[in-house]
């Protein structure tokens, strides 16, 4: 990282050296960039070249990594996954029912979005690509994801958040997604993972400083 930063500053210095006269506004602007911190320079570049993510609330991370879940029988319930969520499971998950018929799934791929602005759950998920029916995960996928990628959970973080169905046999109302979608927040507590339950329309304002990551199905267009 240090080598990259030094190279970047060296390039700016070369440009400054070639710009004359000294009194020009362009020269003064470049001179300021040389002396600014890495964070200030990154902010300047984002503003100047419009590098801010389109939705403004989150940005995709680990873009090159494919979080692949292998096919399996889809009958794993969060409320029964004590071996995965050893630090506790919110009893409200017992209200979430999966499809009545037994079924199998093929491989599925997930993507991660990191919060970069404060927001409530409804806004954080509504700004993501796709319809509401494309943003939720099956309970078995949530359990498998937490079991397969434990390295994503950080001790100093407030964890990962997922959308799941309350009733697996009920469709999603695109005009009223909170009717059948709820939020599952998974975090590290007391050395293990715990799963917490929230209504999608919960009005708590979640802070970007807590570094939440949203886990969503990877869309194929």
pLDDT tens string 144-197: 999 999 888 876 667 899 999 999 889 999 999 999 999 999 999 887 999 999
- Cα–Cα–Cα angle for 183, 140, 199, nearest 5°? 15
pLDDT single digits (tens) 88-143: 999 999 988 876 654 556 678 999 999 999 999 999 999 999 999 999 999 989 99
pLDDT single digits (tens) 63-78: 888 898 876 655 789 9
Domain coverage including residue 43: 2-48
128, exposed or middle or buried, with CB in 10 Å at 0-12, 13-18, 19+?
Answer: buried
Name the pLDDT band for 50 (thresholds 50, 70, 90): very low
Residues 42 and 63 in one domain: no
Residues 42 and 87 in one domain: no
More confident residue, 43 or 143: 143
In a domain, 53, yes or no: no
Residues 63 and 36 in one domain: no
Q: What is the pTM of this model?
A: 0.71
Top-confidence range, 20-24, 44-48, 151-155: 151-155
In a domain, 41, yes or no: yes
Residues 161 and 69 in one domain: yes
Alpha-carbon torsion, ordered 196, 187, 125, 57, to 10 deg? 140
Residues 63 and 147 in one domain: yes
Residues 18 and 79 in one domain: no
Task: Tell me which DSSP letter residue 135 carries.
Answer: T
β-pairing verdict for 72-73 and 104-105: antiparallel
- Residues 113 and 130: beta-carbon distance below 8 Å: no
Residues 67 and 89 in one domain: yes
Q: What's residue 33's pLDDT?
A: 62
Residues 126 and 19 in one domain: no
Q: Which residue has the tokens 């409200």?
A: 92
β-pairing verdict for 88-89 and 108-115: unpaired
Residues 86 and 174 in one domain: yes
Residues 36 and 78 in one domain: no
Q: What is the number of structural domains in the chain?
A: 2
Going from the C-alpha of 38 to that of each of 5, 6, 35, 46, 54, the distances in angstroms are: 7, 10, 9, 12, 23
The residues with which 188 forms a beta bridge, in sequence order, are 193
Residues 76 and 97 in one domain: yes
Distance between CA 78 and CA 162 in Å, rounded? 12
Name the pLDDT band for 80 (thresholds 50, 70, 90): very high
């Amino acid at each position: 990282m240090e080598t990259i930063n030094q190279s970047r500053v060296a390039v700016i210095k070369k440009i400054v050296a070639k710009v004359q006269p000294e009194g020009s506004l362009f020269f003064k602007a470049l001179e300021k960039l040389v002396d600014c911190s890495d964070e200030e320079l990154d902010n300047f570049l984002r503003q100047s070249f419009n590098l801010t993510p389109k939705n403004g609330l989150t940005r995709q991370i680990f873009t090159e990594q494919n979080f692949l879940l292998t096919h399996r029988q889809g009958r794993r319930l969060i409320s029964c996954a004590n071996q995965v969520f050893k630090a506790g499971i919110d009893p409200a998950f017992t209200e979430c029912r999966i499809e009545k018929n037994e079924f199998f799934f093929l491989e599925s791929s997930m993507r991660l979005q990191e919060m970069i602005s404060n927001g409530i759950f409804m806004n954080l998920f509504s700004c993501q690509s796709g319809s509401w029916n494309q943003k939720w995960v099956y309970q078995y996928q949530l359990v498998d994801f937490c079991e397969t990628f434990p390295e994503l959970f950080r001790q100093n973080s407030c964890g990962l958040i997922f959308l799941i169905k309350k009733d697996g046999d009920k469709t999603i109302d695109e005009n009223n997604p909170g009717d059948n979608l709820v939020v599952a927040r998974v975090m590290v507590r007391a050395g293990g993972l715990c799963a917490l339950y929230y209504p999608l329309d919960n009005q708590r304002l979640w802070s970007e400083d807590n570094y939440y990551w949203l886990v969503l199905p990877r869309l194929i267009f």
